[in-house]
Amino acid sequence: MASGRGNSRPQIDNKSLDNHQVPSNPVIRPPLEHGWNWQSRTGSNPSKGFQDGYEKDNVNAEAEKDNDVDDIEDDSDDVAADDSDNELLTDEFDSDSSQKSHETRKKNRWFKKFFDSLDKLRVEEINDPARQWHCPACQGGPGAIDWYRGLQPLVTHAKTKGSKRVKLHRELAELLDEELRRRGTSVIPAGEAFGKWRGLKDDEKDHEIVWPPMVIIMNTRLQQDDNDKWIGMGNQELLDYFSSYAAVKARHSYGPQGHRGMSLLVFESTARGYLEAERLHKHFAEQGTDREAWEHRQVLFYPGGTRQLYGYMANKEDLDIFNQHSQGKSKLKFEMRSYQEMVVNQIRQMSEANRELIFYKNKFAIQQRLKTALEESFGVVSEKLRKTMEENRIVRQRTKMQHEQNKEEMDFQEQFFKEQIKFIHEARDEEEEKFEKLQQQQREKFVKQSTPNTSNTEEYRRRADEIAKFIKLQDEEMEAFVSERDKLITVHKEKMAAMRQRHWQEEVELEKEFDTELSRLME
């Protein structure tokens, strides 16, 4: 299949066609005018009344008849094979086609049956993307059996054909565009969904409204006074009658004869004011006392003399009538504004603001709940802290008392042990003093005993030597005693120092253990 043929069906190879409808004659005969009988093939759409712009009910009957391609003047098969534009420049196809009418160009022998069938179709059927078409400009040529699903591929083919029958294809494209334009449609672009719905126009409908919003109230005059002037409903009375609609003020129209029976309620210059005015307008309409009733079937009085009020939204003409006899400052001021700008946009802004308000309200509520939860948690924690601090104060007080008591006991024990040690020291000193006295007495006793009474020098000398030896021995013993005593004192001091070190270490450990237990208790 040649490229660039849109959604045309793939051509079936010659081998498969030999087993179906193509005769075994090797001579190339003109293709079927209506293409292959796709109605009997898989993938055809039997529900369609037309296919390719021709009636499919006549395809089988006309297939053999049309093998001669409408009895073209030249009966030779070479005519079908000649695709040059020179062949087409005949009396039936004038190259200056712009001088011919559209209907005349449609009757060209190449296009006549195609457009005859096209004229029988509705616009919906023409635009059906599932409908298949043959190109009438390709009949009798290589592309005659190609299918194009939808008109868009066919028009694209006609506009882009660049090798054979170019002018004929361009003519077909122009005719199709003009025909579809006259039928009020166009070729659906490729890729665009068929059968889209048509809703409102793209542009939002807008109109001018009276601003500030006002509602005309008719039949508000009551009676004539002594001067034959009409009097009617007062401003506050009118506001009270419609107090549920949030009007901001009331005005009445006066003329040469007094009250004209025409009043109005003015609402605030916001979208809310307009909605209130519109709500009042609809209320009048629902009970049949609106503008249309006032203008065509007004009933001024009911039995008993009760006046019926009528009401409707004010427009510019109404306010011009209202101001007919008003001059200067008494003239009602108003302006005409865009409905989209003053109402729709404001409502959208209000809606957006309301959404934001709801969002922030929810956020504030969440924050309030969080704040409440935090306050409750803070209260619980504060109470626990207060109790803990009180317990700690009690513990510290008790600890201080215990410490003072322990200190007192330790001071007492220290005093007791110091007195014991002092007593030991005094006893030791007394023993040492006794020992020294004993040694002194022994020396004196020995000296006294050893002192010679004779005048013998030898004896005296011997006794003197013995005394000297005794004293020397006693001195040596005392020196040994003192030395050993000093050693004992040194060892004793070292043991006392070691004992005090162990005591302080144990005291430090006890303090640390106490701190640990106290910290655990405070937790």
Among 12-21, 153-162, 377-386, top mean pLDDT goes to: 377-386
Q: Count CB atoms within 10 A of the CB of residue 284.
A: 22
> 214 has which bridge partners?
266
**pLDDT higher than threshold 80 for residue 117:** yes
**In whole angstroms, what is the distance from residue 499 CA to residue 489 CA?**
15
Positive/negative CA dihedral, 137, 141, 143, 144: positive
The dihedrals phi and psi of 327, each to the nearest 5 degrees, come to: -135, 150
Query: Residue holding tokens 């005969």?
Result: 29
For 395-443, the pLDDT digits (tens) are: 889 988 988 888 888 888 888 888 888 888 888 888 888 888 887 787 7
| CATH code that applies to domain 208-333 | 3.30.70.2890
Instruction: Provide, rounded to the nearest whole percent, the portion of the chain with pLDDT above 70.
Output: 76
Residue-range domain boundaries for the chain: 14-182, 208-333, 452-523
For 18-32, the pLDDT digits (tens) are: 333 333 443 344 444
Angle formed by the axes of helices 112-119 and 166-182, nearest 10°: 20
For 360-370, the pLDDT digits (tens) are: 999 999 999 99
- Are 492 and 425 a contacting pair, CB within 8 Å? no
Q: Look at residue 514 in the predicted model and tell me its pLDDT.
A: 86
